[in-house]
Amino acid sequence: MNNVPLHAIAAAQHADPYPYYAMLRQGAALQYDPALKLWLASRAEVIRQLLTHPAAKVRPATAPVPPHLVATSVSEVFAMLIRMTDGGTQQQHKAWLQQRLSRLTTTEVQQLSWQSVQQLQSTLADKYQLAADHLFSPGSKSGAEPAQATVLNEFIRLLPVTVVALLLNFSPCQAAIAAVAIADFIACLLPDADARTISAGEQACATLLAQLRQTTTGADWQLANLLGLLMQSYEATSGLIGNSLIALFRQQLLPMAQTNPEFCLLLVHEVARFDPPVQNTRRFISADCEIAGVLLPQGSTVLLLLAAAGRDEQQYQNAEQFRLDRTPTENLTFSSGAHRCPGDWIACQIAAVAMEFLLRQKLPPLQWQYQNLTNGRLPLFFHSDQPLQASQGVTE
Ligand code: HEM
């Protein structure tokens, strides 16, 4: 891979996109990329303005539902998601969701996270015929080294969605089904989804709604937004766990890492700023407007580089330094304004438990590369012949 990302979207999966983001921050407040047909915003203050501007919407006015989904059964759910809509109804529905989430306690999220860790340990041990307490240990099964990275990837991918499903009162068995279904649902939202993927997405959507009906009574929009919790937590929280593991290697923190909740929470909070799993989001301009002195015409699209904002010196002192002693500040990794993530604290608690568990394991030597996603930064680990401390992303 080149040293400089090809463009702002490719940056999400680049080994080190942060010098490129720094260069963008030093340029104009909003820069137009004619090849991508996108305006780019990289400074925290400009991104904040966009996230609170009434003309900056989460969907294009001409396509409230992606065209490839319009004639499918997924479209109805999509159109009810607070993540995909703007305005008064969105705010009312979000208030309901936030109220429901506020009934959860940190202790409950931690307990269900540990329960899910144990559940996954036993499922993965059965699936790969490994000892449950030595899932990732090199040499735990002769000739099994390559499988250990696979087991690790699967553990990281499944843990957050399993926890959120349990928080929604799913049984462990329903949670396991939901973890598979949500992947199919998310896959069908991608603009290049083919007929088979869309059909699998419709099936998954029906399965998830049926499960939600068994555990909750509520209007269609409420069930759609509970499904939305599974969707929103899935990849982003897995990315936070994977990137926290990478931070341990890159920042050479393993020797001083502590297997206690306080250390792990500080770690994931700093990773959320320093190397976040959601690198960007978009806003669609619904009326001519001026932002940071730049005229944005109606119909234009802005790419908000949230990950660049995390390294903005105007926002954080010594922003390029990874520090576990920062006082927590508002983090644009979880957005701001009407669409700010209501699950940030849940994500951090799940990731902290995952790290506490992983730090107690004997991990195999690892390398990683980033998955091919447009806004997510999610590592995929694979087996390396090098010792763990020397591990590097292969794309470096
Ligand atoms: C590290 C993990 C996570 C990250 C980085 C993250 C990030 C974000 C971001 C950036 C947005 C807003 C996007 C925008 O403004 O365009 C968002 C929205 C949302 N997130 Fe999260 N999220 C994470 C985990 C979770 C979890 C665990 C849940 C649920 C338990 C959740 C629920 C939601 C919901 C429902 C929305 C839509 C809010 C709205 O549009 O008003 N997220 N998240």
pLDDT at 284: 98
Is the beta carbon of 232 within 6 A of some atom in ligand 1?
A: yes
The residue whose CB lies within 8 Å of the most ligand 1 atoms, and thus the one to mutate among 232, 269, 374, is: 232
Residue 99 is encoded by which pair of tokens? 């109220």
pLDDT band at 2 (very low <50, low <70, confident <90, very high): low
Residue 164 has pLDDT above 70, yes or no: yes
pLDDT at 83: 98
Is the beta carbon of 279 within 6 A of some atom in ligand 1?
A: no
Is the beta carbon of 237 within 6 A of some atom in ligand 1?
A: yes
Average pLDDT, rounded, for the chain: 93
Homologous superfamily, domain 10-390: Cytochrome P450 (1.10.630.10)
Is the beta carbon of 243 within 6 A of some atom in ligand 1?
A: no
pLDDT at 393: 43
Distance CA 18, CA 25 (A): 10
Is the beta carbon of 94 within 6 A of some atom in ligand 1?
A: yes
pLDDT digits (tens, 9 = 90+) for 311-359: 999 999 999 999 999 987 778 999 999 999 999 999 999 999 999 999 9
pLDDT at 142: 53
Inter-residue long-range contacts of 21-29, CB under 8 Å, 24+ positions, other chains counted: 21/305, 21/307, 21/308, 21/311, 22/308, 22/311, 22/320, 24/305, 24/308, 25/308, 25/311, 25/312, 28/294, 29/291, 29/292, 29/293, 29/294
Q: Pick the atom of ligand 1 nearest to 282's CA.
A: 16
Is the beta carbon of 346 within 6 A of some atom in ligand 1?
A: yes
Q: Closest Cα partner for 81 from 235, 207, 223, 212? A: 223
pLDDT at 146: 58
Distance CA 391, CA 15 (A): 13
Helices (H), ranges, 53-189: 74-80, 88-102, 106-128, 145-167, 172-189
Q: Closest Cα partner for 9 from 378, 274, 375? A: 375
Is the beta carbon of 167 within 6 A of some atom in ligand 1?
A: no
56 phi and psi angles, rounded to 5 deg: -95, 105
Q: Whose CA is nearest to atom 34 of ligand 1?
A: 341
Residue 126 has pLDDT above 70, yes or no: yes
Q: Whose CA is nearest to atom 20 of ligand 1?
A: 341
Helix count and strand count (H, E) for the chain: 12, 9
Mean pLDDT of 118-130: 93
> Quick check: 52 and 45 in contact, CB under 8 A?
no
Q: Pick the atom of ligand 1 nearest to 304's CA.
A: 16
pLDDT at 138: 67
H or E element that contains 21: helix 18-26
Is the beta carbon of 100 within 6 A of some atom in ligand 1?
A: no
Is the beta carbon of 227 within 6 A of some atom in ligand 1?
A: no
DSSP three-state, residue 379: strand
Mean pLDDT of 117-132: 93
pLDDT at 389: 40
Domain range annotation of the chain: 10-390
Chain centre distance of CA 357: 20
Is the beta carbon of 343 within 6 A of some atom in ligand 1?
A: yes
**Ligand 1 centroid from CA 92, angstroms:** 17
Q: Higher model confidence: residue 174 or residue 257? A: 174
Q: Closest Cα partner for 178 from 119, 99, 108? A: 119
User: What percent of the chain shows pLDDT beyond 90?
Assistant: 85
**Ligand 1 centroid from CA 298, angstroms:** 26
pLDDT band at 147 (very low <50, low <70, confident <90, very high): confident
For the chain, how big is the Rg over CA atoms in Å? 21
pLDDT at 250: 92
> Quick check: 117 and 360 in contact, CB under 8 A?
no
**Which residue is it, tokens 């340029």?**
27
Residue 42 has pLDDT above 90, yes or no: yes
The residue whose CB lies within 8 Å of the most ligand 1 atoms, and thus the one to mutate among 82, 341, 374, is: 341
pLDDT band at 307 (very low <50, low <70, confident <90, very high): very high
- Dihedral Cα 223, 225, 229, 235, nearest 10 deg: 110
pLDDT at 363: 86
**Ligand 1 centroid from CA 307, angstroms:** 14
Residue 388 has pLDDT above 50, yes or no: no
pLDDT band at 385 (very low <50, low <70, confident <90, very high): low
pLDDT digits (tens, 9 = 90+) for 62-74: 999 999 999 999 9
